[in-house]
Amino acid sequence: MDVINKFYSSAVHTVSQLSGVLPGNNVTREYEVLDQICTAGVGLMWKVYNGHKKSTKQEVSVFVFEKKVLERWSKDDRETMLETLRRGVQQLTKIRHPHVLTVQHPLEESRDSLAFATEPVFASLANVVGDSVRSEKKLYDVEIRHGLLQLFDGLQFLHNDAKIVHRNISAETIVINKNRSWKLFGFDFCIANQPSTNGTPHWPCREYSTSLHVLAQPSLEYTAPELALNTVNTPDSDLFSLGVLIFTIYSGKPLKMFGSDYSGFRRYANELNQRKYPPMNTVPSELTESLKALLHPSASLRPKLHELKSIAYFQDVGVKTLSYLDSLYQWDNLQKSKFYKGLPQIIPTLPHRVNLHSILPYLIKEFVNSPMIPFVLPNVLLIAEMSSQREYCDHILPHLKPIFKLTDPIQILLIFMQKMDLLLKLTPAEEVKQSVLPLLYRSLECDMPQIQELCLGVLPTFSTLIDYNAMKNAVIPRIKKLCLLSNNVSVKVNCLISIGKLLENLDKWLVLDEILPFLQQIQSREPAIVMAIIGIYKIAMTNTKLGITKDVMAHKCIPFLVPLSVENGLTIAQFNTIVALIKEMLGRVEQEQREKLQQLSTIQRDNKPKDASEILANELDNATLSPSSSYGASNGNKSDDDMFSGFSVGQPASAATPKATPTALAPVKTREQLKITHNTTTETTSKTDMFSLMQSNLSSLSTVQSTPAAAVPQLTMPFNASSNNSNNWHSANPLVMNHQLASPQASSNNNFSSLDDLDPFGSSGAASQTAKPNNANGANMYTLQQPTVNYIYPTGYNASNSMSSMQPSIGLNKPMIMGAAGTATPTLMPQMTQSPDSKNLNTLSQQDILNFLN
């Protein structure tokens, strides 16, 4: 807010100041007057303001003289001074020369001021000479040399063509315009030629008067000595003033200050006759002799202006370059083109201010000459490269905007494409959209491949400045059209490379809808084009923002890429690149599809209602995982109520058998037909252990686990039998599997060391192998075989006596589950054995057990 208030107060102050300066002056009707920039004229009484014409916005400078500064003068001096100022402006208005200040609007007088408008002005020479001048306004040496040459040209015109003697050449009457050209001003005391009767030129002399105000007469510091000595006034008098001006430029002050002391001036004039010059240490050595010649007391011995131009002081390359530009309008196009071709070598050697304000204006004038633009434009862009963004926007960009729209000659587009990075760096974003983007569109549509490739190369560098609609509807379609229609392989490849660089600034759907289908429309199969296409697919697949979906890869990408891998002309490296991309796509499709199917399966399983078999399997699984549900404490008694809660292959209590890891349960297969073969020596032993074997096989039948036959080890269960047991018996009991058993021993003395050889069905060729005894005395073995129905009853076996005379101890464990394939895996769990007299268990007959299983 403080900044706004400060700006507002400054504007109000300026307006109030100008309203006091130009009340009622007609200049304010046509021109907008702004800030004061400098002072000029005799005594620096002219105030110079920036301004522009209201109707055309043409930039001007307004010179204003305020009459109130003369209030302290006498009435006669005021009138003399006003008349002198009016005469000087009127004379200036009549003269037209490149090195004479140009008047845009004639003098207008009001009650309080005099005012007129001229070409834009930078400063007067008095404002930029001296030690108190700010550094940004101090003159460079090349500017001084070139400015003096311009003064020589202006004075030559006055003396030879206009026949006018200036009489007041000084730092106050030399004005530097906006383009840093030096202009003659202050014709207040000039004298025109009044030829004599014989036709010889004659300039009447006006002797200095001490009665007039010092500002109403020419400055004595710059006045030639012949005026005081001989009362003679000639064009050579201006040469003396020019010499004093040169000394003032380098030393900061004239040879000697006189003010209104005319007698002191006469004495100084006599000293000059004796060639007594002040020290000239500040003057360049190559100019010292010429300067002394200009200050010669004899007017006839002073050098002529055309002679001064040829001295070594003015032979600098920069000075010659600036001088050529002054006379450029006289040359034809061929001469201009040669000069402009060599100019890029000179511009870097000159100060930037000289390039910006002295060279650039001449180059811009050539923009109206279309054939010269390709020669001028590189120099303009070279100066732009040395400029700041503000200088570029103020001095260069407004003149480039019309050139952006040109397509003829075609070299203009080529130059702009080569310098596009510079234009993008300096041009504001709004101007890029309005001026630079249309230039790119025209470049893409031109017929010159070199321009097209340059445009495609620079386009990705400023893609962030292009909005989505312009990218989708203007840029991408033009690149696609160029790639499809061009017959140049290089252009096609550059189109694809440009698209690949633009991908990161595009969205997913634009790539899927516009880019990927376009790639399949390209008919060319050159290796360079194929690899460019592969690059685009690679970027589109790996970029997280653009990631191609598995459906697109499966249906469109992979079917298109596979034929590309067998194109002729591919190198082994290119082939490997294509195949690697295809494999990567396949791997991603496989991974994503598997994850999808697994997720769907999980969702379906979670949402599907459970049937009775699954509930029963889960319950059995829970019973297996919880030991307390099937087993008691170590050496504890089994409950009567849990008698049929589970079945297992039991071991004697004395055997220390490790726990086996429970496995998953499968549905129990009903009614397996079993065969039991048993060898024994006495009927008593057989009768005693028969019921125990039946119960053991009953447990085995119920606890068979579903396991593939090839994966189940052979089960061999040894036990010690008495050597007296020689009789063999066979049982047709269907409760028992086809185990080939030996008669169990009364006392449990079995020791199992490993389950590795267990195979109830003799799978994997184990059926042909002989069971290995696990005890030292070679006890008989019993082995699980494939279920075969063979009911054979032993001789002399009485089932009822056997069942009624015994109350065996039955160990019930987890059931063994039969698999669908008819194979089984016994699950060996810790078993609690009881002595026959610990508890009376329910006695089961053979028929009761058969009924239970059926």
| Cα angle, residue 708 at apex, residues 706 and 712 outer, rounded to 5° | 95
Name beta bridge partners: 105: 117
Let me know: does 715 contact 669? Beta carbons within 8 Å. no
Instruction: Annotate 662-694 with three-state secondary structure.
Output: CCCCCCCCCCCCCCEEEECCCHHHHHHHHHHHH
Closest CA to 117 of 101, 95, 133, 138: 101
- The encoded tokens of residue 411 equal 């070299």
What does the alpha-carbon distance between residue 270 and residue 228 come to, in Å, rounded to a whole number? Answer: 9
pLDDT of residue 8: 41
Place of tokens 């990075």: 421
Distance linking the first and last C-alpha atoms of the chain: 102
Closest CA to 27 of 18, 35, 37, 36: 18
Give all strands of the β-sheet with 182-184 in edge-to-edge order: 121-124, 174-177, 182-184
Instruction: Annotate 93-139 with three-state secondary structure.
Output: HHCCCCCECCEEEEEEECCCEEEEEECCEEEEHHHCCCCCCCHHHCC
| Cα angle, residue 626 at apex, residues 621 and 630 outer, rounded to 5° | 95
What does the alpha-carbon distance between residue 617 and residue 425 come to, in Å, rounded to a whole number? Answer: 75
Q: What is the dihedral of CA 565, 570, 574, 580, to 10 degrees?
A: 20
**DSSP three-state, residue 225:** helix
Beta carbons within 8 Å of 41's beta carbon, 6+ residues apart: 63, 65, 85, 88, 124, 172, 173, 185, 186, 188
C-alpha 18 chain-centroid distance: 51
Using 50 as the pLDDT threshold, list the residues of the chain that sit under it. 1-20, 628-844
Q: What are phi and psi of 518, to 5 degrees?
A: -65, -35
Closest CA to 511 of 478, 467, 472: 472
Q: What are phi and psi of 222, to 5 degrees?
A: -110, 5
List pLDDT tens digits, range 325-351: 988 878 888 999 999 999 999 999 999
Closest CA to 715 of 763, 651, 675, 680: 763
Closest CA to 436 of 403, 476, 469: 403
Closest CA to 28 of 59, 58, 62: 62
Complete domains list, the chain, with CATH = 21-126 (3.30.200.20), 135-314 (1.10.510.10), 647-854 (no CATH)
Closest CA to 531 of 509, 505, 561: 561
List pLDDT tens digits, range 175-208: 999 989 999 999 999 998 888 777 778 888 878 8
Read off the DSSP letter of residue 816. B
What does the alpha-carbon distance between residue 426 and residue 419 come to, in Å, rounded to a whole number? Answer: 11
pLDDT of residue 608: 73
